[in-house]
Structure 1
Amino acid sequence: MRASTVLLGGAFMFAAGPVLAQTTEAKPTGVSASTYSTDLMQLYREARLEDPKVLASFARAKAGQEHQREALGSLLPQVSLNAGQNRIHQENDLVQRSYDSEIYSLVLRQYLYNKAAWENYQKFKSLAKQSESEALETQAEATVELAQRYFAALAAEDELELVKAERQTTQKSLDRVNALYEKQLAMITDQLDLKARVDLLAAQELDARNQASITREALAEIVGRPVKEKLNRIRDDVQLQVSAQSLDSWVREGIEQNPALKANQSGVEAAGAALRSGKGGHYPTVSLTLSAQQTNEGYNNSLAPRTDSYVAGIGVQVPIYSGGSTSARVRGLYQDQIVAEQQLESVQRQVVKEITTAYLTANSSAEKISASRHALASAQLSRVAAEKGLSYGMVNAVDVLTSVRNEFRARRDLLKTQYDFVTNVFTLNRWAGKPPVEGVENVNAWLGPGSSSQSLTSP
């Protein structure tokens, strides 16, 4: 993790106070793992080693390299060694005899011209590049998914804390009404309204607790272990802002660097090579053959003096007619090339759309964060005023409930807007082709072990 504040993919920046160095204390015996905290970078490192989708994608990339080497092998010299020993019994009018014969040969064959084999190698070369790009795309997609699940877990825990805090705040209002009711200064309807709200919030707290457990399990699915530590949150001293980099520059970077787009470009190249390889079935092949043979077997399996033979030859094979299968295969490969080209066009349009959407949404979220903070401050003041008004009999319980709901709605909106901003930043970097680790490092610098939700939920 970088200690200093950095730009996210060269585009997102924030004004933050100095980051204090953190020291890791020795774990006392018997302390739960939930006492300690983890951050996004730590989970990212674990997911790189444990996420089955990431591991499978890199295995496919490695297999693609081996298939490329396999295709290259057909262009290189083919050498074979043959050895045989025979027991021969021969009879005629003059002689009847049995004898052993031996034959040894070494043959080297090299294609001098084979268009189909050459283009087949080019196809697998492009497919290897495609699998490498697909592995990078899978890693980028997995990083976005990890971030989404990380902040979903934070949001679920925020909701639990907010429901608990709202219930406690409403309970305090109920206690005040109960005290006023005993003095005959409050109506029974106010008491019942507040009691019903407290009971409803108690039920919602159970649902929120269950949802927090579910989101933790979603994280465990990716990293391959239970995630029980506290999750680092967005620090309160971080000001999220959008840089001056234009949308057009983001789109240009995405078209140049997006791994999904590169994978489809390689797919088009592979389809073109496959088409040329199919057409190569109409071309002649030229091969060079060198052989050496040693045997004591002569014509018609007769016994002969041991003979050494050395042969060099050039062979030409010209295809004339194969029942129309070669032409049909070429026509099919031509259609495959059209499919690959259309897939490339589709992905390119998707890249432009996703970058535009993520950029505009992140830009809107950054502006909305400031407005949400002001709305929360106003809602807090309104709630405090309503509670005081209830004590003096100036407002009723419905007014207090409304002010409390407005305050906690503002708290939820602020937290959700912050998480939306960060997840859209990840999405933007993914489609723009930024290295996943770079995005994680930069966002991780915004996180800290302190809980921003605690400050937000304190009435």
Structure 2
Amino acid sequence: MRARNHAARAGGSLPAPAPTRLRRVCLATSIAVLIGMTAPAHAIGLADAYDAALSADPVYAGALKEKEAGDANIGIGRSYLLPNLSANYSNYRDATGTTFFGSPEGDTSTNQSYRAYSEGITLRQPIINLEGLARYRYGKATALASDATFADHSEELLVRVLAAYTDTVFALDQLAFASAQKKALDEQLASNEAMFSNGEGTRTDILETRSKQALAQADVADAQDNVDNTSHVLETLTGLPATLNVDDLDRLSDNYQPKMISPASYEQWRDIALDNNAELDAERHSVEASHQQLEVVRAGFYPHVDLVGSLGKSQSNSVDTIDQRYLTKSIGVEITIPLYSGGMVSASSAQARANYERMQFELQDKTNKVLLDVRKQYNLCVSSLARIDALQSAVASATLLITATHKSVQAGMRTNLDVLTAEQQLYEAKRDLAHARYQYLLADLQLKHAAGVLRAQDLYEEAQWFLPTNQTVSTAKTSATSLHLP
């Protein structure tokens, strides 16, 4: 058994033409054989797929960068309240011509060429700045919204990994079921033909079996395409070469038994979602950010006060100060009072208020959608439990039915068609049972995601039910046994 240490780490196309599918299957088989000759087989578990997706999934990587960009809003907002220090320097060469009129000697002119420069440093510290305070609060709210959005993407990744993984495994199960059924029909057809040759069977039996066999062959082809499609989705999500070693995926244990969700009532899940859902949390912070944006605009009506200090040195920076050098130090309070800006502040305030109220309506809409999702996933979990129990009974009954039907055929009480119908019933019951189990696993994670309490540990706990194929009874073998295959 593989050793895992995940606790410390950390959401249909048309079938390909037959020749294209055949080439793809042959290519995949050749590559798989080549890899099998050069490297030992390594099973891929559900937890392995999640760990790989953390570094390979572009959606998650983009969400991480979005979070980093959002966190920068805190520093941007804080900058409006912190001191602003600036420096200036200029150095140039001046040439000045001066003419003096009305002197006893007549008009005289002088020309001068001199160096002029100035340098200085200015410190400005806001004292009363309502706009800066609102921008700081806006930055905090925006950063918190980004953090909540990233938390939602993190939970969504868990759901997407489980969905891609179980879709692929279920596709493999369907292929195994379809192959087992086709093999059973091949055996049945051979038996019918042998009996007909001995004068014991009928041509009708042969035609019925041959018709079922052709449909089974079509089911196998569809199942192969489904495996190819789902494995490529898993490969894209995780970066693992699923198309090359898809048969090495861990399979759901035959001993898997789902347990009742906890808490058991929808009302408790609803309350948990209202308090913890990451989407709602992000939307609430976005509403607060919109409110602070309104306060930023409103601050345009109010004065702001700054403490200003400066130190400057200059020489010959004007005609009157040629060849004179100055050192200037100043400190004081500067008050800026807005009087009229052409109505821009009033119009911007109306716009910001409308956006703020729109965000409140969007929050309510998001809340309704989240609660609907919670109810949907809760109902799906409950119904899946009942469906799994019913399908387990159906599989057991269908298995007994095949045995009884064979005996009835031998006694002359049933026909070949009854055997084929019983085998089809068992195939469908096993397929539906596998689907119901995967559906419950996914609904369980989706319910926790909608409630905002999904963690990586939840996926790791579900991953314990998936075992390497050499540690659990394979679906194909089970199906073949149930269908009385050699």
Q: State how far apart, in whole Å, the 1-side matches of 2:38 and 2:175 are.
A: 21
RMSD between superposed Cα atoms in Å: 2.3
Q: Helix, strand or coil: the match of 2:324? A: strand
Q: What is residue 81 of structure 1 aligned with on the other side?
A: 87
2:395 aligned to 376, 400, 415, which one? 376
Taking a change above 3 Å as real, the CA distance of residues 339 and 267 of structure 1, as seen in their structure-2 partners, is: same
Q: Does 1:40 align with 2:46?
A: yes
Q: Does 1:171 align with 2:186?
A: yes
Q: State how far apart, in whole Å, the 1-side matches of 2:422 and 2:340 are.
A: 86
Q: Does 1:393 align with 2:409?
A: no
8 A Cα contact 1:174 1:195, kept in partner:
yes
Taking a change above 3 Å as real, the CA distance of residues 112 and 344 of structure 1, as seen in their structure-2 partners, is: same
Q: Does 1:453 align with 2:475?
A: yes
Q: State how far apart, in whole Å, the 2-side matches of 1:387 and 1:261 are.
A: 59
What are the residue-to-residue correspondences of 1:326-405 with 2, within 5 Å? 326-405=345-424
- The one-letter amino acid paired with 1:287 is D
Q: State how far apart, in whole Å, the 2-side matches of 1:233 and 1:30 are.
A: 20
Q: What is residue 183 of structure 1 aligned with on the other side?
A: 198
Taking a change above 3 Å as real, the CA distance of residues 285 and 29 of structure 1, as seen in their structure-2 partners, is: closer
What are the residue-to-residue correspondences of 1:192-271 with 2, within 5 Å? 192-227=207-242, 228-229=245-246, 230-243=248-261, 245=263, 246-271=265-290
Taking a change above 3 Å as real, the CA distance of residues 244 and 112 of structure 1, as seen in their structure-2 partners, is: closer
Taking a change above 3 Å as real, the CA distance of residues 201 and 298 of structure 1, as seen in their structure-2 partners, is: closer
Q: State how far apart, in whole Å, the 2-side matches of 1:38 and 1:388 are.
A: 43
1:430 CA displacement: 0.8
Taking a change above 3 Å as real, the CA distance of residues 416 and 3 of structure 1, as seen in their structure-2 partners, is: same
Taking a change above 3 Å as real, the CA distance of residues 334 and 452 of structure 1, as seen in their structure-2 partners, is: farther
Q: State how far apart, in whole Å, the 2-side matches of 1:139 and 1:35 are.
A: 30
1:70 aligned to 66, 76, 79, which one? 76
- The one-letter amino acid paired with 2:395 is L
The more displaced of 46-55 and 300-309 is 300-309
8 A Cα contact 1:386 1:403, kept in partner:
yes
Q: Does 1:113 align with 2:128?
A: yes
Taking a change above 3 Å as real, the CA distance of residues 30 and 195 of structure 1, as seen in their structure-2 partners, is: closer
1:34 CA displacement: 8.9
The more displaced of 224-233 and 255-264 is 224-233
Q: State how far apart, in whole Å, the 1-side matches of 2:213 and 2:352 are.
A: 68
TM-score, length basis structure 2: 0.85
Identical positions, percent: 24
TM-score, length basis structure 1: 0.90
Q: What is residue 11 of structure 1 aligned with on the other side?
A: none
Q: Helix, strand or coil: the match of 1:208? A: helix
Q: Does 1:305 align with 2:324?
A: yes
2:337 aligned to 312, 315, 318, which one? 318
1:104 CA displacement: 1.6
Taking a change above 3 Å as real, the CA distance of residues 298 and 441 of structure 1, as seen in their structure-2 partners, is: closer
Q: Helix, strand or coil: the match of 1:38? A: coil
Q: What is residue 59 of structure 2 aligned with on the other side?
A: 53
Deviations 1:270-322 (A, max 9, x none): 01100111111111121121111112226534324322111112221111221
8 A Cα contact 1:298 1:304, kept in partner:
no
1:163 CA displacement: 0.7
8 A Cα contact 1:235 1:452, kept in partner:
no
Q: How many residues align?
A: 437
2:165 aligned to 150, 166, 182, which one? 150
Q: Does 1:101 align with 2:123?
A: no
Q: What is residue 16 of structure 2 aligned with on the other side?
A: none
Q: State how far apart, in whole Å, the 1-side matches of 2:92 and 2:421 are.
A: 103
Q: State how far apart, in whole Å, the 2-side matches of 1:128 and 1:380 are.
A: 59
Q: Could you list the runs of 5+ residues in structure 1 that have no partner in the other structure? A: 7-27
Q: What is residue 99 of structure 2 aligned with on the other side?
A: 92
Taking a change above 3 Å as real, the CA distance of residues 392 and 133 of structure 1, as seen in their structure-2 partners, is: same
The more displaced of 297-306 and 83-92 is 297-306
